[in-house]
Chain A
Amino acid sequence: MSLFTTLLFRDLQLALREGGAIGTALGFYLVVVALLPLGLGPDLKLLARIAPGVLWVALLLAALLSLPRMFEADHEDGSLEVIALARLPLELAAAAKALAHWISTGIPLALLTPFLGLLLNLDAGVAPVLVATMLIGTPAVSFVGSVGAAATLRTRRGGLLLALLVLPLYVPTLIFGISAVSAATLGHGGLAPSLLILTAISLASLVIGPIAAAAALRVQMQ
Chain B
Amino acid sequence: MRLVAENLVVTRGLRTIIDGLSFAVSAGEALMLTGPNGAGKTTLLRAIAGFLPPASGRVHLTGGIEERTIAEECHFVGHQNGIKAQLTVAENLSFWGAYLCSSPAGTTGLEDRVAVALDRFGLEPLAGIPAAYLSAGQKRRAGLARLLVSERPIWLLDEPTASLDTDSAAIMTSVASAHLARGGLLLAATHLPLGLAGARELRLGAAALPAQSTHGPHDERATDGEGATP
Contacts from A to B (Cβ < 8 Å) = 1-3, 6-7, 10, 13-14, 17-18, 76-79, 81-88, 221-222
On whether A10 and B51 interact (CB within 8 A), knowing A79-B82, A81-B82, A85-B76, the answer reads no
Q: Which of A7, A77, A85, A88 contacts B85 (CB 8 A)?
A: A77
| Closest Cβ–Cβ distance, residue B106 to chain A (whole Å) | 10
CA–CA, A90 to B86, complex, Å?
Answer: 23
Contacts from B to A (Cβ < 8 Å) = 46, 49, 51-53, 71-72, 74-76, 78-87, 91, 95-96, 98-100, 102, 104, 107, 143, 146
A-B contact pairs, 30 of them (CB 8 A): A1-B107, A2-B104, A3-B98, A6-B98, A7-B99, A10-B87, A10-B99, A17-B86, A18-B86, A76-B80, A77-B81, A78-B78, A78-B80, A78-B81, A78-B143, A79-B80, A79-B84, A81-B51, A81-B76, A81-B80, A81-B82, A82-B76, A82-B96, A82-B100, A84-B71, A85-B74, A85-B75, A85-B76, A86-B72, A86-B100
| Closest Cβ–Cβ distance, residue B76 to chain A (whole Å) | 6
CA–CA, A18 to B84, complex, Å?
Answer: 11
Contact B82 A78, beta carbon cutoff 8 Å: yes
A2 contacts which chain B residues (CB < 8 A)? 104
CA–CA, A6 to B94, complex, Å?
Answer: 10
Contact A1 B98, beta carbon cutoff 8 Å: yes
Contact B86 A82, beta carbon cutoff 8 Å: no
Contact A14 B71, beta carbon cutoff 8 Å: no
| Closest Cβ–Cβ distance, residue A183 to chain B (whole Å) | 43
On whether A78 and B79 interact (CB within 8 A), knowing A221-B51, A222-B52, the answer reads yes
CA–CA, A82 to B150, complex, Å?
Answer: 12
Contact A17 B87, beta carbon cutoff 8 Å: yes
Closest chain B residue, CB of each to CB of A14: B86
Q: Which of A3, A14, A84 contacts B51 (CB 8 A)?
A: A84
| Closest Cβ–Cβ distance, residue A8 to chain B (whole Å) | 11
Contact A87 B84, beta carbon cutoff 8 Å: no
CA–CA, A116 to B143, complex, Å?
Answer: 44
| Closest Cβ–Cβ distance, residue B169 to chain A (whole Å) | 20
B52 contacts which chain A residues (CB < 8 A)? 222
CA–CA, A10 to B100, complex, Å?
Answer: 14
